[in-house]
Chains A and B, each alone.
Chain A
Amino acid sequence: MNIEREQARQVLGLELNALGLAGPPSLAGELEGARIGEEGTPIYDLNGEVLFYRFPVADGGEPGYADGAARTELGAPLLAVSTGMRWDEGALVEEATEVARSQGADFDETRFVAFSFPKIGVQFLRGGEEVLLLELGSWEPVPEGRDEERPPLEPSNFERWSLLEELPEDRSEVAKQAYEERVEGWEPAFQGIDTTLVERSALSQFELRLRDSRELHYDAGDAGHHICFELHGQETNVWCVGASTQMLLAFYRYEYSQDRLAQALGLGTKQAPNGLPYARVEDVVTQLEALTSNALQAEMVQNPDFKFFRDEIDANRPLISFIPGHSRAVAGYIQYRFAKLGQLPFRGLLVYDPWPPSTGVITRWENWDTQIYQYGYRAHVKIVP
């Protein structure tokens, strides 16, 4: 799908502000105070469609440019940012024209072309047909395309090829979806800030809206309702499963001591405690149901993904999470919508961890990408009086 230049620039402005906020401090310093030029240079694909816009970035620590996608197939609004080299479209065209004329080219149109994405050049045309293509900067003529067959997206060096024509359909669909999700995340901020300016403080007022986060409340409609979850430390050094089960049941107002839960789950006694054998991980499901007289319907999921936790929290229901050798309760999540280039946005869980024994800790946040989630348990009320 095509993106108009103004829309590309607006989203690019938000992305650059996010990069200034969350990116490496050196780049943030170079971008601080920078203005994004309104006149972005269209960069065409070899098939003749606009692929992206290159916007000059000036007045910050260093001049530079940023590339904003003109096609959703590129998967992200911000394709690249570069500092240290000023982007001056007019001067570059003038320089290229001089070289083209010296080579005897006869043309009536020029445009920038990504002839081997992300490499770009200046294309000279007459009557809509190319007469010469010069690589940007070196001003070397780019050779004609090759005739021989090769797998898509595997061009040889200095070979011209069309990204839009070679992009496989499945990759294209995934990329389109990623682009749309990313832009959707920016919608709340669109009206509020000057997207032509990169300023560290610009997004601060939108921080809450730029991340998706929730924790358990007394009622699923958070407004006016208090946060509702209590930490229980494990009462022996091996009763993490008992403490986690206790926390989940307490949310539904079932008050069980850890001794009683140990009895139900086969965790021994305080004097001779034991953990829950892996062979009996299903017992948590059985006991969540039995200890609530089947008012709760529980389910165990192996290798749960982030969505599993997020969906339950959104439905205002706590979970139990088993990681290797340990068990905890989960009562919230956070998911940032922006990240440094090339990295996943931060995702984390709000973990009520019964370790260390007797106190426990509330972990806000546990980085999803640094932990292994082996089993997840969810439960919902089956019988509504």
Chain B
Amino acid sequence: MNEREKVRQRVGELAEAGLIDEELSEGTRVLDPIPVTAPASGELHSWFVPVARDERLTGFAQLLPDLQLMRYSTFPSGEGGAALPDLADWTDATRIRGRAEQIAEPGETVGEPVLTYDRDASRLAWRVPATDQSGGSRALFVAGASAYPERSESEEPEIGGPPPSG
């Protein structure tokens, strides 16, 4: 059994143990886990396991590499699931690149997205490199329908804002 299969199996076990939403059984699918890489090291930090109904993302589990549950989160569904985000917003590289392109500067080319997080592991976001014509590069973040440039480090770190420098 490969690592992704183990992660999916573990999600099933957690659902059975009552630690994951009971809605898992009601027409939802547990999709292939996506590795979440640590921003600094690029190493595997955790697994993002999307849970979908049709083409909507109902929620996700996040598991550490040792398969310990970090959290199970669900999106507000609204009437008939209308408020649920598109599954593609969180899983489709083309859609995610498209979001990044919307905030890229003219002349910047966006590269391959990598799922990571912005400051804390609970702030999941796709990191998309944007390279300008002179070869300079910066990072753009895409979190669902929201895209924004990476904030530079600051000597006055903020909750929600820039990370500490150094």
Contacts and interface: CB of A to CB of B under 8 A. Distances in A.
Interface of A: 21-22, 25, 207, 211, 231, 234, 237-241, 267, 274-279, 281, 322-328, 346, 348, 351, 353, 355-367, 369-371
Given A275-B161, A278-B157, A358-B144, A325 B69 contact: no
A237 B158 CA distance: 12
B159 A359 contact: no
B159 A278 contact: yes
Contact of B146 (A237, A327, A351, A366): A237
Given A237-B148, A277-B157, A346-B19, A356 B72 contact: no
Contacts of B145: 358-359
B70 to A, nearest CB: 5
B73 A353 contact: yes
B160 interface: yes
Nearest to B154: A277
A359 B83 contact: yes
Interface in B139-157: 141, 143-146, 148, 151, 156-157
A288 to B, nearest CB: 15
Given A22-B17, A361-B59, A326 B119 contact: yes
Most buried by B among A278, A322, A328: A278
A325 B160 CA distance: 5
B76 A362 contact: yes
Contacts of B148: 237
A358 B13 CA distance: 31
Interface in B48-94: 59, 64, 68-76, 83, 85
Contacts, number: 135
Contacts of A357: 143-144, 146
Given A325-B120, A353-B122, A277 B158 contact: yes
A364 B59 CA distance: 10
A328 B19 contact: no
B74 A275 contact: no
B146 to A, nearest CB: 4
Contacts of A326: 119-120, 122-123, 159-160
A359 B74 CA distance: 10
18 contacts: A231-B76, A237-B118, A238-B151, A240-B160, A275-B162, A276-B159, A277-B157, A279-B156, A326-B122, A353-B122, A358-B146, A359-B83, A360-B76, A362-B75, A364-B21, A367-B69, A370-B68, A370-B69
Given A237-B148, A325-B123, A363 B158 contact: no
B159 A281 contact: yes
Contacts of A237: 118, 141, 143, 146, 148, 160
A212 B111 CA distance: 47
Contact of A363 (B13, B72, B163): B72
A211 B119 CA distance: 32
Contacts of A241: 159-160
A62 to B, nearest CB: 21
A44 to B, nearest CB: 38
Given A353-B73, A367-B69, A327 B144 contact: no
Contacts of A370: 64, 68-71
The 3 tightest CB contacts between A and B, nearest first, are: A275-B161, A275-B158, A325-B119
B98 to A, nearest CB: 17
B141 to A, nearest CB: 8
A363 B75 CA distance: 9
Given A359-B75, A361-B74, A363-B72, A278 B158 contact: yes
Interface string B90-108: 0000000000000000000
Interface string B111-123: 0000000111011
